[in-house]
């Protein structure tokens, strides 16, 4: 990705040529790589930078009391449920800078089937939900709203859940996520992973609060929209109760 230089010194993405791309990357063009290899990430960075600037400019504008009540400032354009689901998948694949391995991809595939109705939204899900289930072959995966996963140590469970949590906080308005870990160390690692993923995805300016117990992200649907992650450390011992009749 290009370095973070001032937005006003940045040329229009439509006018970028090979020389300017090479200059902003601060390196010569790689042999065998075409111009499109550089244009795509540069354009994506430019879109995010411009979106961030517009969001800050809108937040800093001063409104009179009457204008604020009668003509409130516009929020970001509302995305359709299908667009939100597509953006969620794009975040998992490329938006967080994490290359997922086989276990994580399979876990996310099954989790997405369970969480799709939350990401799409109840209103849109009532219309497009059945077609999404049929198109993706989720008939056997949406029979329950609970997903139980067992895996060995060191296979990426914490990062898998962190990726899901970060994606949900970005896409689902007013979501509240509760995380129960086996100890304080794992709970802190999980919170730090979600915080880092949100920063990598370009949402650091929307983080309202980050402590060992909670992470709050400001939403984009209204001024009251807050997405909350609560982290609860627990005892690592597991007790199984048997009932004999």
User: Quick check: 105 pLDDT over 70?
Assistant: yes
Residue 121 and residue 199 in one domain: yes
pLDDT at 156: 87
Residue range of the domain that includes 227: 81-233
Final residue in a domain of this structure, among 70, 101, 120: 70
SS3 sequence, 87-116?
A: HHHHHHHHHCCCCCCHHHHHHHHHHHHHHH
**CA 175 – CA 221 distance, rounded (Å):** 12
* pLDDT classification of 34: cutoffs 50, 70, 90: low
User: Quick check: 32 pLDDT over 90?
Assistant: no
Higher pLDDT, residue 125 or 63: 125
This prediction has a pTM of 0.64
Q: Is residue 149 part of a domain?
A: yes
Q: Determine how β-strand 214-218 pairs with β-strand 207-210.
A: antiparallel
Q: Is residue 76 part of a domain?
A: no
**CA 154 – CA 117 distance, rounded (Å):** 30
Residue 65 and residue 111 in one domain: no
* Structural domains of the chain, count: 2
**CA 90 – CA 171 distance, rounded (Å):** 12
Residue 221 in contact with residue 172, Cβ under 8 Å?
no
| 180 Cβ contact list (under 8 Å, min separation 6) | 232, 234
- Specify burial of residue 31 (Cβ count, 10 A radius: 0-12, 13-18, 19+): exposed
Which tens digit of pLDDT belongs to each residue from 40-97?
555 666 776 777 676 666 656 666 667 666 666 555 556 677 888 989 999 999 889 8
Residue 99 and residue 206 in one domain: yes
As a whole number, mean pLDDT of residues 201-229 equals 90
């Amino acid at each position: 990705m290009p370095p973070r230089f001032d937005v006003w010194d940045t040329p229009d993405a439509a006018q970028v040529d090979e020389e300017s791309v090479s200059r902003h990357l601060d390196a010569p063009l790689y042999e065998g790589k075409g111009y499109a290899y550089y244009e795509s990430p540069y354009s994506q960075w430019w879109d995010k930078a411009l979106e961030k600037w517009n969001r800050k400019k809108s937040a800093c504008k001063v409104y009179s009391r009457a204008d604020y009540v009668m003509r409130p400032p516009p929020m970001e354009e509302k995305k359709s449920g299908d667009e939100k689901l597509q953006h969620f998948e794009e975040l998992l694949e490329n938006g967080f800078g994490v290359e997922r391995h086989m276990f994580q991809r399979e876990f996310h595939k099954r989790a997405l089937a369970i969480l799709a109705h939350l990401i799409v939204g109840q209103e849109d899900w009532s219309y497009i939900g059945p077609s999404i289930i049929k198109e993706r072959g989720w008939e056997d995966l949406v029979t329950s709203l609970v997903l139980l996963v067992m895996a060995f140590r060191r296979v990426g469970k914490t990062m898998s859940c962190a990726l899901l949590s970060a994606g949900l906080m970005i896409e689902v308005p007013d979501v509240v996520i509760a995380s129960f870990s086996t100890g304080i160390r794992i709970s802190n690692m999980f919170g730090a992973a979600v915080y880092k993923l949100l920063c990598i995805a370009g949402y650091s300016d929307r983080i309202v609060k980050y402590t060992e117990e909670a992470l709050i992200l400001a939403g984009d649907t209204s001024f009251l929209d807050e997405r909350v992650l609560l982290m609860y450390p627990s005892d690592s011992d597991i007790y199984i109760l048997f009932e004999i009749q």
